[in-house]
Amino acid sequence: MTEEHPFAQYVRIIGKGPNLSRPLTGDEMYQAATMIMNGDVEPLQLGAFLCILRMRTEVPEEGAGFVRAVRDTLELPQEMPEVDLDWSSYSGKKRQLPWFLLAVQVLAQSGVRIFMQGTEGHTPDRVYSRQALQSLGIPIAGSLTEAAEHIKKSNFGFLPLAQLSPKLQEIIDLKPVLGLRSPVNTFGRMVNPFAASHEIQTVFHPNYRDVHRDTANLLGQKHMAVFKGEGGEVERRPQKPVQVQSLHDGILSEEEWPALLPEDSIKVDEDMNLERLKSVWSGEEQDTYATAAITGTIAIVLRLLGRADNPAEATTLAEKMWAERNTSRLGA
């Protein structure tokens, strides 16, 4: 008789069918994810596990257990930096340039300390944050320790997921094999390695907003906001109204933000020329869409940080910050 693999119990719990299966508890997911992170799972088991979760949609308790397990594996610096905002970048941009990266730089200039982690290459024909940041001359960290140094120097640090957590990157890279995105795309964003007091998230599918917010609440995250971003990135779609769901000290709230531009005025960027990021930043090029995307994104962050009492006030302050940015340099 062949002895059952220890991980089989977790596949069985979520995969026994519509009447007998159930979500994993937080502790069960923690144990399952710990095995995954340690490489103690067979490839067939991992594929089945990820596909079942994706078909059923993950629940917040599973998200919290998964994130806790990932955090156990991180190589944190001996001296942790103070970080105000944790910002993830997983989707890449296809229809518009990553204007949110200029929003990040304005915020860093204003003193907001930001850590960004992101992945790349899992979906073809997209521009990812690492590539765009390099085009702007912004350094890419090779470890959490180096990211901490960048934050102390310029209020911004970017670390690729492959360096933050090679195992998570390995799982994301299974997308061409499985044909599906995995729970890592949802929960890897929420690792928040420097324990920033504020966390900003976006979703491509609106029904994931509650999962992100409720997972953050279970993890004890003090402040977070989540909304449907352009292409799945943390970037305001200025031609659309946006519902921002927030968490502040355990209190859940929702706020409807009006559109900033007429919907019929938006065109898909066919060229995706990264050099335009520099020209818009310097003021050499004026772009109504880019400006609205940048200031709209800044505004949502300012509201999250408690620097504005309502969307209109946040938008006015964001426009002022953009107009007064130091165009001669990027970062703090």
- Sequence-separated (6 or more) residues with CB below 8 Å from residue 326: 109
Q: What is the mean pLDDT of residues 130-146?
A: 96
Count the neighbouring beta carbons within 10 Å of the beta carbon of residue 233: 25
| 93-117 pLDDT per residue, tens | 999 999 999 999 999 999 999 999 9
Residue 53 forms beta bridges with which residues?
none
Structure tokens that stand for 286 in this block: 């004026």
Six-digit token pair at 171?
């799982």
Is the pLDDT score of 193 beyond 80? yes
Q: Kindly indicate the confidence band of residue 192, based on its pLDDT and cuts at 50, 70 and 90.
A: very high
pLDDT tens-digit map of 204-225: 776 778 888 999 999 999 999 9
pLDDT at 266: 84
Contact 65, 24 (CB under 8 A): yes
Q: Which two tokens stand for residue 169?
A: 């990157």
For the ranges 74-78, 171-175, 196-200, 290-294, the lowest mean pLDDT is seen at: 171-175
Helices (H), the chain: 8-15, 26-37, 43-56, 60-71, 100-109, 129-135, 144-154, 161-164, 166-172, 175-178, 183-187, 209-218, 275-282, 288-304, 311-323
* Distance in angstroms (rounded) separating the CA atoms of residues 150 and 40: 34
Q: What is the pLDDT of residue 251?
A: 95
293 neighbors 99 (Cβ within 8 angstroms): yes
Q: Evaluate if residue 61 carries a pLDDT over 90.
A: yes
pLDDT one-digit tens code per residue, 285-301: 999 999 999 999 999 99
What domains are there in the chain, each with its CATH number?
85-323 (3.40.1030.10)
Question: Which of 23-27's residues contact partners 24+ apart within 8 Å by CB, and which partners?
Answer: 23/56, 23/58, 23/59, 23/61, 23/62, 24/61, 24/62, 24/65, 25/61, 25/65, 26/61, 26/62, 26/64, 26/65, 26/68, 26/218, 27/65
Give the pLDDT band (50/70/90) at residue 275: very high
Q: Residue 263 — pLDDT band, cuts 50, 70, 90? A: confident
- Please report, for residues 113, 297, 301, the alpha-carbon distance to residue 150 in angstroms, rounded to integers and kept in the order given: 10, 22, 21
Residues in the chain, how many? 332
Query: For position 331, what pLDDT does the model report?
Result: 66
Q: Three-class SS of residue 239?
A: coil
pTM: 0.94
In sign, the C-alpha dihedral spanning 214, 216, 220, 222 is negative
